[in-house]
Structure 1
Amino acid sequence: MPAGTVSPIDPCLDQLTRFVGGVVDEKQVPRLMTALEVVPDPRDRRGRRYSLPSLIAIALCAVAAGARSYSSIADWAVAAPREVLVRLGIRFRVPSEATIRQVLGRVEGDGLDLVLGRYLSDAGDNDSGGERVAVAVDGKTVRGARAGEESAPHLVSAVTHTGGVVLGQCRTADKSNEISAVRRLLRGIDLVGAVVTVDAMHTQKATARCLRERCRAEYVMVVKANQPGLLARIRELPWEQVPVVWSDPLERGHGREEARIYKIVTVTRGLRFPYAQQVIEITRRRRRIGADRWSIEVVYAICSLPCEQAPPKLLARWIRGHWSIENRVHWVRDVTFDEDRSTVRAGHGPQVMATLRNTAISLHRRAGQSNIAQACRRVAVNPHRAVDLVLRS
């Protein structure tokens, strides 16, 4: 461009400079865009009008504002001010609904999950208070995405207990179950030094070895009847002689009362499960508020950490915190984003939309928001807030 010639986007950049306080933050703005550059672009090189990172960033901003479909993502882009679109890499025509639908439906789901999970984990979980980061792993079926005779996609996610940040997600292979998908997910996440909690389905020797040897992480696993030999050996321990080492305070909620007491045995030999060092007996007492009778349930768990590194109070917090993945992510996707009634079914679209929802939830939580529905409404009224949330988190 000849000296003195003014670029056609200079006025827009000038407006952007004034908006962000006089200086365009060159380090912070491209962080997400740089991360998204490694996502394989499914389109032919010829005829690409928009970069893939820009389209994904627009979709993230729209979902963070409560968008639930391709058309609502396109509507958000049409309504966004020019300077907002420039920050997202859109300098000319606004992408149409057809473009957004075709691109998001073809992007490889697991690859996008991996990139966005690493992008979120780079910031770290600042809510751990110096303790080990606890990560819950569980699966969820996207029921609304069932198409014809095909089964609905089932996605497995890893979520931090305290921050509610989704570190990764992958799709379970058709005609398979979560077990192999969980190990594939764990191998793709940086879990060094973390403790991973799983439900009884994933209490598998191969998973324990994967966590300890491949991921260099620890585990807390629930033991139930799907591991009959291990459960029998645990029940044979002299629990009558073991004192109660911790009791959770009585809790009230959802019309019931619940109390838990914990007994712990240190394992030396005989359990025959890789790296297990502690066995925990949890006795749950529940009753409906106002009722006289208590129901009693006994559950067992194993932990790979010794008692010096995992005292009773911390173990109890990890065991209870495992269900944060249901309360803080799966429930929000179902209720706030109405995921189970989503009409996105073609290609990789269901998984990609679930990934965008996970990332939006995580970004809101990193920004200090606990009520995600309220956070979406607040972002929806001002597109600048959406782009700030996505590009500055």
Structure 2
Amino acid sequence: MPAGTVSPIDPCLDQLARWTTTVADDAHLPALLTALEALPDPRDRRGRRYRLPSLIAVALCAVATGARSFYAIADWVTGVPQEVLARCGIRFRIPSEATIRQVLGRIDGDTLDRVLSAHLAACTDATGRVAVAVDGKTIRGARIGTTVAPHLVSAVTHAEGVVLGQCRTADKSNEIPAVRRLVRGLDLAGAVVTVDAMHTQKTTARCLREQCRAEYVMVVKANQPGLLARVQSQPWEQVPVVWSDPLERGHGREEQRSYKIVTVARGLRFPYAQQAIEVTRLRRVIGTEEWSIEVVYAICSLPCEQAPPRLLASWIRGHWAIENKVHYVRDVTFDEDRSTVRAGHGPQVMATLRNVVIGLHRRAGQSNIAQACRRLAANPHHAVDLVLRA
């Protein structure tokens, strides 16, 4: 070739060098890739064209823009500039929908969740006592014939609405053992865990206090008749109201809650219970004069010095953050219950990806997740920034 003549492949090599430099200069990408390297690759070593961390990274970016299925993830990958894929570690071929579906459908969902949750937790500077809600959700759209739909239990922070962890219940079991398995795998030392009445179990209470070094707030209902009777037998008529929430108006009704609290270090015969709470709910449909009254009981493992009435009230109300900030968003924004992802571990993997991007959006200061997804869909570079700089 004559001197000074430029090879026709030189521009391609030059462009590739620029993409490689972009990846090398991104300080956040190595942390994500390093974390995802701990995830076992379900594929055979022969014929791998893409690194597993890169495929998960582009899937997270696509879901952060509102992608609801493997097809939508593949469409996003096909439509974005090559520079965006290069930042995720994909520099040559564009992965097909079949590749994305087969790989994500074979990853173990519990392991993926542990890896991503640990990575996000390492990037978080939490201060003060953290309140965490634990509850379950069924992925109804993943039911195939008579096969039971996957049921997942999650741990979500009250304040941010960030999912700390998630695991799947056994097909022939229920949430109770799954919750214990979930909390044992999380760093909950010093946190307050709120649960509904299903999980008001002595073994769960001991698990939280002795193995997780966490505190608890548990609702008491008729599934524990002995405990409920002992709580109801407290001298509530002689106990004054120590806290009342402001009157709330919304969804066509008014509601107000008042709280009575007694110290019960002995007498409940329930592990580590130190306070019992009576919550009275007054509700009225706007436009009517009749108020309905509902009384709910709860117990707490913290003494009154560490859990004053106002804080207890916020924990009891904050438990619904898992429904309002996570489950509702997955159902409405990401249409999870009608998702056609059903095979293998696909439903749980997609739920984990949704949990992660919801948490990333909230940490970025976004309260309207649907709006945040639309904004990122208009600029894929911002989607990569959100995921890689977590």
Please tell me the TM-score bracket, short chain as reference: over 0.9
Deviation at 1:108, TM superposition (A): 0.4
1:143-292 counterparts in 2 under 5 A?
Answer: 143-292=140-289
Structure 2 CA distance, aligned partners of 1:9 and 1:31? Answer: 27
Deviation digits for residues 168-219 of structure 1, max 9, x if unmatched? 0000101110000000000111111110000000000111111111111110
The one-letter amino acid of 1:73's match is I
Report the residue type matching 2:384 in the other structure: V
Would you say the 8 A contact 2:113–2:352 is kept in 1?
yes
In structure 2, what is the equivalent of residue 56 of structure 1?
56
Give 1:312's aligned residue.
309
Equivalent in the alignment of 1:101: 101
Alignment pair present for 1:367 and 2:352: no
Matched, 1:134 2:134: no
Distance 2:226 2:145 in 1: 41
Paired residues of 1:117 and 1:167 also in contact (CA < 8 A): yes
Match of 1:70 in 2: 70
Contact 1:60 1:356 in 2 (8 A): yes
Residue-by-residue CA offset, 1:44-98 (whole Å, 9 max, x unaligned)? 1111110111111111000000001111101111112111111101011010000
The answer as to 2:25 corresponding to 1:24 is yes
User: Which ranges in structure 2 are unaligned for 5 or more consecutive residues?
Assistant: 1-9
Alignment CA distance shift 1:9-1:204 (3 Å): farther
8 A contact 1:145–1:152 mirrored in 2? yes
CA, structure 1 residues 325+281, in 2 after alignment: closer, same or farther (shift >3 Å)?
same
Q: Which amino acid aligns with 2:283?
A: R
**Counterpart residue identity of residue 26, structure 2:** D
User: Which residue pairs with 2:327 in the alignment?
Assistant: 330
SS at match of 1:30: helix
Bigger Cα displacement from structure 2, 325-334 vs 77-86:
77-86
Question: Separation in 2 of the partners of 1:317 and 1:281?
Answer: 14
CA deviations 1:351-377 (Å, max 9, x no partner) are: 000111111111101111000000000
8 Å contact kept, 2:254–2:285 = yes
Give SS of 2:293's match.
strand
- C-alpha distance in 1 between matches for 2:11 and 2:238: 80
Q: 1:114 matched to which residue of 2?
A: 114
Aligned residue among 18, 28, 34 for 1:14:
18
Residue 300 of structure 1: how far off its partner (Å): 0.5
The 8 Å contact of residues 168 and 185 in structure 1, kept in 2 or not, is answered as yes
SS of the equivalent of 2:29 reads coil
Give 1:148 shift. 1.5
In structure 2, the partner of 1:79 is 79
Q: 1:12, 1:387 → 2: CA distance?
A: 19
Does 2:384 align with 1:387? Answer: yes
Partner Cα distance (1:226, 1:125) in 2:
38
In 2, the alpha carbon distance for the partners of 1:15 and 1:184 equals: 43
Aligned residues, how many?
381
> Secondary structure in 2 aligned to 1:270?
coil
| Aligned residue identity for 1:161 | H
State the Cα deviation string for residues 224-247 of structure 1 (Å, max 9, x = none). 000000000001110001111000
Post-superposition offset of 1:123: 2.5
Distance 1:13 1:256, change over 3 A: farther
Q: Secondary structure at the match of 1:360?
A: helix
Contact 1:9–1:91 under 8 Å retained in 2: no
Secondary structure of the 2:133 match is strand
The whole-number CA distance in structure 2 between the counterparts of 1:10 and 1:243 is 76
Q: Equivalents in 2 of 1:358, 1:89: separation in Å?
A: 23
The answer to whether the Cα contact below 8 Å between 1:12 and 1:83 also exists between their aligned partners in 2 is no
CA distance in 1, matches of 2:237, 2:156: 36
Identity %: 77
Q: AA paired with 2:173?
A: S
**Using the alignment, how far apart are the partners of 1:170 and 1:65 within structure 2?**
24
**Aligned mates of 2:313, 2:51 — CA distance in 1:** 47
Q: CA deviation at 1:149?
A: 1.2
CA distance in 2, matches of 1:147, 1:176: 18
Query: 2:300 maps to what in 1?
Result: 303
CA distance in 1, matches of 2:299, 2:40: 40
Task: Give yes or no for contact 1:125–1:160 (8 Å, CA) kept in 2.
Answer: no
Structure 1 residue ranges, 4+ long, deviating more than 6 angstroms after superposition = none
Q: Secondary structure at the match of 2:25?
A: coil
The CA deviation at 1:124 is: 2.7
RMSD of aligned C-alpha atoms?
A: 1.6
* 1:269/1:9 CA distance change after superposition, 3 Å: farther
